[in-house]
Amino acid sequence: MSARRRIAITIATAALLVPAAVGCSALNTAMDCVETADAIATSVDKLQQAASSAAEDPTQARQALDDIDRELDNLGDKTDNADLSKAVDDLAAGVDNVRKSIDGGDTTPDLKPVTDAAAEIGKVCTP
SS3 letters across the chain:
CCHHHHHHHHHHHHHHCCCCCCCHHHHHHHHHHHHHHHHHHHHHHHHHHHHHCCCCCHHHHHHHHHHHHHHHHHHHHHCCCHHHHHHHHHHHHHHHHHHHHHHCCCCCCCCHHHHHHHHHHHHHHCC
Residue 123 predicted with pLDDT over 50: yes
Q: Give pLDDT tens digits for 6-42.
A: 665 555 555 544 444 445 566 666 666 666 666 777 7
Q: Give pLDDT tens digits for 28-84.
A: 666 666 666 667 777 778 778 877 777 777 777 778 788 878 877 777 777 777 887
Model confidence pTM above 0.85: no
